[in-house]
Structure 1
Amino acid sequence: MQRSQRQKLIITSVDSGFRSVEDLVTLTGASAITVRRDLAELSERGSVQRVRGGAAPVPSRGARYPFELRQAERAPTKRALAGAAAGLVEPGDCVLIDNGTTALAVARELAGRGVTALALSLHAAAALASKPGNQVIVPGGTVRHDDLSFTPASAERAIRDMRFDYAFVGSCAARLGTGLTVADWGEAQVKRAALTAAHRTVLVAAGDKFSRTAANHFGDLADLDTIVTTSDAPRDVIAEARILGLTLITVDIPENDSD
């Protein structure tokens, strides 16, 4: 079992109550030393509460899984999606790069491409500026722990002050009937602003996102210009996208995608 898979399994198990090291050894098949090391890392990130003999749930937590684990999840697929999305961009374009792990993959693909980019997280900003050639802009204000995203108020204000050739946005869910949704209310406001500030809005999301729904609605498929997704996207979503006249780009799931 990969480290990211193992740690996600530990978090999910501890969510329902105290789990001893022995419980987690049985659950994961890892050694006690490995489980203790995982618990130390997860405790430092605020994902579990380390207690004597095991771990307990954290009373209040933001994202369900730490950014590092979300970034490792389906990394080959995210790189494939990002490569297809970045292929839309020409030197000189102005782009918006959303917060999130798939958006970060897009930012990495756009390093050195000669674009002007508004990055909604420090992770994306660092990726975009890792090679010479880009002008990288970040919102003002404070940065949130873990994913290093800018607070919704500062991000929304920065978006409204610019106009973009492309806005690359992510979504927790994009199910037909419920539309584009995310878990966080503030993030929904930021993404809604992005949809209105760009000449072309591009949703970059794996096919499984189209079978999910979340609490806060920020748009519908009709608000998009392009969808970049995997070849396993639901057929009804593909059909709806074509009816709406959207550009649909699909990529095959890499064979080495083990999550």
Structure 2
Amino acid sequence: MESHLQELCTSMSTLNSRSEQIMKFLLRSGTASIEEILAEVGSSAPSIRRDLTQLEGRGLIRRTHGGATLVEPLLYEPFRYDRSFQAREERFASEKRRIGLAAAELVLANETIGLTAGTTTTHIGRSLRHREHIQVVTNAINIGMELCNQPGIRTFLTGGAVPWAWSFSLTGNAALNYLNDVYLDKVFFSVTGLDPARGCTTLEADEALVFRKMLKQSKRVILVADSSKLGRVSPAFICTLNEIHHIITDTSATDAQLIPYRDLGIEVTRV
């Protein structure tokens, strides 16, 4: 009996590890065939198919003919015909996917993290969906939607008002008051501009206030921004560079662009 139980536990451990490998591979590639998954993960085709069936049952992937694809992005029905939203989702999509995956790797079990509204932070949320024992605080309605059906993640929305049409971002006093009572291990935030002299900026002042509050409540502050944001300045100030511990960007960012941040002691990762 004890031997059988040990074998069962070993089998489950292998399954969990293999499923984790499959998810990481799909998070990098978006879609893959059974043959590509086998080459990446090993094991046997029947075992891979069983794992894919379980992952599909959790709403993490969708089986395709001969392979699998991530369930992403969610179909936000009101945005189906909004071309500006679709363009925002598709702009630097591969870079944002890589940044999101790298950021998610920094999240440890039993941590409480903050995710601000933004397309890059949305990719972090997607890269966490298969994880367990994580609490996520966010002011982004869509990130809440994408995480709410995963039993391993507790998701908290700040509350607040949607400041403009076609926005997922919650702002205002309700959001700020909620964050007064929250302490975060790490916060991941996005920007529309990052400049050595002007710091971190975004488009809307109300949103910047919520971002700033979330940063203040966190032990570690991590900026996620594709290289197109470097050197830009937007109207609403979020924070100075001295408040940032880590920047994750893509490989198109040049050494010259990143020197000012490294000189300040900020850890910089290119993916």
Tell me the residue number matched to 1:174: 194
Tell me the residue number matched to 2:205: 185
Q: Secondary structure at the match of 1:137?
A: strand
Tell me if the contact between 1:100 and 1:147 (Cα under 8 Å) persists in the aligned partners.
no
1:150 to 1:247, Cα distance in 2 relative to 1, 3 A: same
- Structure 1 residue ranges without an equivalent (≥5): 1-40, 48-64, 252-259
Distance 2:138 2:259 in 1: 32
Distance 1:119 1:140 in 2: 9
| Counterpart residue type for residue 175 of structure 1 | D
Give the alignment partner of residue 70 of structure 1, picking from 66, 88, 91: 88
For residue 85 of structure 1, report the CA deviation from its aligned partner: 0.5
Please report the TM-score for the alignment, with normalisation by the length of structure 1: 0.68
After TM superposition, the structure 1 = structure 2 runs for residues 115-134 of structure 1, keeping only pairs within 5 Å, are 115-134=134-153
| Counterpart residue type for residue 126 of structure 1 | M
CA RMSD of aligned residues (A): 2.2
Distance 1:141 1:170 in 2: 19
Q: Deviations over 1:176-212 (max 9, x none)?
A: 1111111111111111112211101110001120121
How many aligned residue pairs are there? 192
For residue 231 of structure 1, report the CA deviation from its aligned partner: 1.7
Distance 1:217 1:143 in 2: 19
Distance 2:129 2:177 in 1: 25
Task: Kindly indicate which of the two structures has a greater share of residues assigned to helix.
Answer: 2
Tell me the residue number matched to 1:79: 97
Distance 1:224 1:248 in 2: 10
Q: Secondary structure at the match of 1:200?
A: strand
Give the alignment partner of residue 208 of structure 1, picking from 224, 228, 232: 228
Tell me if the contact between 1:82 and 1:102 (Cα under 8 Å) persists in the aligned partners.
yes
- Structure 2 residue ranges without an equivalent (≥5): 1-77
Q: Deviations over 1:158-193 (max 9, x none)?
A: 222201011010001001111111111111111111
Alignment of 1:107 with 2:125, yes or no, is yes
Distance 2:244 2:197 in 1: 15
After TM superposition, the structure 1 = structure 2 runs for residues 16-55 of structure 1, keeping only pairs within 5 Å, are 45=82
1:154 to 1:236, Cα distance in 2 relative to 1, 3 A: farther
Percent identity reads 25
Please report the TM-score for the alignment, with normalisation by the length of structure 2: 0.65
| Counterpart residue type for residue 137 of structure 1 | F
Runs of 4+ in 1 over 6 A off after TM superposition: none
Distance 1:207 1:141 in 2: 30
Tell me the residue number matched to 1:135: 154
| Counterpart residue type for residue 238 of structure 1 | L
Q: Deviations over 1:89-132 (max 9, x none)?
A: 11100000110111111111111422111121121012223422
Tell me if the contact between 1:112 and 1:132 (Cα under 8 Å) persists in the aligned partners.
no
| Counterpart residue type for residue 220 of structure 1 | T
